[in-house]
Amino acid sequence: MMEIFQIVAIGLIATILSVLIRDEKPEIGMYIGLVAGIIIFLFMVPRIQSVIEILGRFANKINIDSVYLSIVLKIVGIAYIAEFGAQICRDAGEGVMASKIEFAGKILIMVLAVPILVSLTDLIINMIP
């Protein structure tokens, strides 16, 4: 719970610094935002690891193939990374590049989802007499 206060503090400090510097050195303002985003991400890595461990134990308990869990985690990772990259581009005023990153992320997610869709289709076909 206390972590959110630290994260918000990092974000607010970075925002204030960026706003103060933006008029004189706009490129430095962008770097401040980028560094703050990376710090916040690194702050969350242990939490992400614990969620992955819990999901792995849960998947083992209910006998889900680890391949499917791996695919789902990769999809979530791609979504978060694409969103992070797109937001950085938008902050830098590059909306077109942000859209291209989001598009690529969606395509990669679709490619990763194909094995799950094929398995699901096979399961449905096998259930129908």
Q: Whole domain around residue 12: which residue ranges? A: 1-45
pLDDT reported for residue 100: 97
Instruction: Answer yes or no: is 89 within a domain.
Output: yes
Sequential pLDDT tens for the chain (129 residues):
789 999 999 999 999 998 888 888 878 888 888 899 889 989 998 998 898 889 888 888 888 877 888 898 899 999 999 998 998 889 888 999 999 999 999 999 999 999 888 988 988 898 887
Does residue 41 share a domain with residue 69?
no
Torsion 101-103-104-108 (CA) sign:
positive
Does residue 71 share a domain with residue 31?
no
Give the number of domains in the chain.
2
Inter-residue long-range contacts of 36-40, CB under 8 Å, 24+ positions, other chains counted: 36/10, 36/11, 37/84, 37/87, 37/88, 39/10, 40/7, 40/10, 40/11
